Structures are given as C-alpha cells and as structure tokens.
Amino acid sequence: MTHVSYSLSCMQLRELSQLVLDSITHIALGACIGEIYAGRSLGKKALAAGAVAQTIPDFDFIASFWLNPANDLLAHRGFTHSILFVALTAYPLALILSRWRWSSGLNISGWAWLITIELCTHLFLDAFNAYGTAWFEPFSHTRISFNSLFVADPLFSIIPITVMVALFLFPEGHKSRVRWSAIAVIICSFYLIYSLINKKIVDKEVETSLEAQDLKYHRYFTTPTPGNVWLWYIVAESDSGYHIGYRSVFDSNESISFQYFERNDDLLEPVADHEDVQHLIRFSQGYYVVSQYENRWVFNDLRFGQMLGWEDPAAPFVFYYFLQHPNDNELLIQRGRFSRWTTESIFSFAERIWGT
C-alpha cells in the first residue's frame, strides 16, 4: 500500500509540473510585455505588474475548491477568459492602481492599456492549445482552440523565462532591457506562427491519407503531442467512432496508420440525464468514447491524447472520468499524461518525433 501511494504521488507531481510551467510561461511573458510597455515609467515594478496582470484570468482555479470535477472543467478558461471579462476588469483595476502610491508612474489610461494588453495576450495564447478558451462567454459557450501548441511547451517557454530572470538582474535604466524583452516576445510570436505552419502541413497530409485509405469522416482535428510542435496527434470522427493516429512533420512515409475506437455512446444512456455527463459531453466538443479502464466504465475526452499512443495504438486515453464513481475523479486533464512514461519511453518518443 505504501509503495502504491508513493508512485501515485510521483505521478501527480509530474502532471502538476506541466501546470506550473504553463503558469510560469504566462508570468514570464507578462513580465516581458510589462517591461516593454512601462519599464521606463515603473522601473522593475513593471515586471511584477505585467506578470500579475497576465495571470489574472487563471484565478478561476479558486472555483475548483467548491465545484465538482465535471463543473470545474467548464469553469476553467470560462468567463475569466472572455472578452467581456477583459472589458469589465481592465478599467476598474486601473482605477485602483492609479490611486496606489506603489504604482505611481502611470496614469489611469496607462494602467488600463497595460492590463488590457496583458489580459488579451493571455486569452490569445491559451487558445493555441486543445483545452479551448471561452472568448465569447456568457453569450456563447463556444471554445476557441487553434490546436497548434501543447499546454506546456518548454521550447516556447524557455526564452521568456530566461529573459525575465535577466531583467531582474539588469539594473533599472539598462539600455538592453527593452531590447531583450522585445526579442523574447518576437521569438514567441514566431514560434506560434511556426506551430501553425506545421499544423497546416500535417492537416494536408492527414486529409490525403484518409482519402487514400477510403476512411469516411465528418470532421477531424490535429494537435501536438507533449512538449513539441513536430509530432501530432490525429482524431478523425466517423459515424460511430474515431480513427486515431500520429504524424511527424519529419515522416517520409506518406501513409498514416490509424487505430479505430468505437464511441460506445449507447453505454451513456443510463446516465445521459446526469448533469456531470452533459457537462463532459459539452466540454469534449463531441470527441469522446466510453470504455473500460481499471475495470470501471470511463468517459474519455479524446482531445488530450493517449498514454504513449505513438508506441501502443490501442493505448488508453489521458482524460478519463469514472462514470460509476464520480468522487474518484481528480486532476482530470493531466492525471494520465505521464503515468506510463519510463526512460525507454522518452527515447522512443524522441525517435518517433524525428520521423519514420
């Protein structure tokens, strides 16, 4: 029993490290933008102001303390990640800050623009990964997902984090402060464009391969596998299930191998009226299958990938919700992400990235 508890604890630490990296990325990018916008007016205080302003939307994590997991999925990146939230928040916060002695150096208008830029950057960046961002809440529940960046990509994060540390070390007024901040923002922007270019290439290859194999589908999506923009996870929806595969931008083989998964939505009929199930279906945007995992029926959201699916095409999915035991559901999005990773898996993952 002790060994099992320790293993679970280590797994959760690996999963949580991804969430921490995502938060640090927003902090670092926010600090760089703060330096560009207000470094001359606020000095090093601009770093803190920018970092805090860009993390404000993620304060929605507080809701998780009283919401059940299914409801929390919809609350996260919900209203606090909407355009309306930005419009309602920026000026009142600017008004408060303009009256605070610590923040002297910017007037109300200056603070309002800084907060608006930081909040909009957060909303825009979050839309690049698979979770989805509710830009139009409460008027529309549609979630915006470009599906071109993994939620925690070290190559995207390393530059703004490094520059943020350097900015704290550089003396105020140093001529390189704005230059290095601008370089960090520009590199991040080019990386986002690069991810979209790779996605466009992969999407074209997916469509060609599906057509060549005469696999009928209604819609599909592609999204990066953990920590990179070269190996992509593919889900193509058919009448009763999904064709799932992987494609590296470095693959030389034109054909993509797909594994088929039945949706099994008839298994949801006994619990179809339950609020949790309805929320899960809405959150998954219809990309789900019902299957058995650990001898229990689970709802799988396909958008978040498989556990080492590039090694085992029939691998279980990262996102799984215990339908019969809802109280056993915690850390839904990330809990299966690294549960089967070993040293060998890391090497095989790197090999798969570089193509077949």
Count of CB atoms situated within 10 Å of the CB of 264: 16
The token pair at 253 is 């083989």
Residue 332 near residue 73 (C-beta atoms within 8 A): yes
Helix ranges restricted to H, the chain? 2-42, 45-55, 69-75, 83-98, 108-126, 154-169, 176-212, 275-284, 343-353
Lowest mean pLDDT among 37-51, 179-193, 293-307: 293-307
As a whole number of Å, the end-to-end CA separation of the chain is: 42
Residue 89 phi, psi dihedral angles, 5° rounding: -100, -40
Q: Whose structure tokens read 């919809």?
A: 74
DSSP letter, residue 137: T
Lowest mean pLDDT among 15-24, 125-134, 228-237: 15-24
The token pair at 323 is 């339908």
- State the pLDDT at residue 11: 41
Residue 10 near residue 2 (C-beta atoms within 8 A): no
**Residues ≥6 apart with Cβ < 8 Å to 182:** 36
Q: Read off the pLDDT band of 16 (50, 70, 90).
A: very low
Rounded Cα distance between 7 and 345, Å, is 17
Rounded Cα distance between 303 and 301, Å, is 6
Q: What is the pLDDT of the chain when averaged over all its residues?
A: 89
Residue 299 phi, psi dihedral angles, 5° rounding: -95, 120
- State the pLDDT at residue 240: 95
**Residues ≥6 apart with Cβ < 8 Å to 167:** 31, 32, 35, 44, 47, 177, 180, 181
pTM: 0.90
Residue 4 reports pLDDT greater than 80: no
Count CA atoms closer than 13 A to 271's CA, side-chain side.
19
Q: Read off the pLDDT band of 227 (50, 70, 90).
A: very high
Lowest mean pLDDT among 58-62, 75-79, 257-261, 263-267: 58-62
How many helices and strands (H and E) does the chain possess? 9, 7
Torsion of CA 338, 260, 264, 293, to 10 degrees: -30
Q: pLDDT tens-digit profile of 314-335?
A: 999 998 888 876 655 665 555 6
- State the pLDDT at residue 100: 84
Mean pLDDT along residues 201-213: 98
Four-residue CA torsion sign, 171, 173, 175, 179: positive
Residue 170 reports pLDDT greater than 60: yes
Q: Where are the domains of the chain?
A: 2-194, 197-353
Rounded Cα distance between 139 and 12, Å, is 35
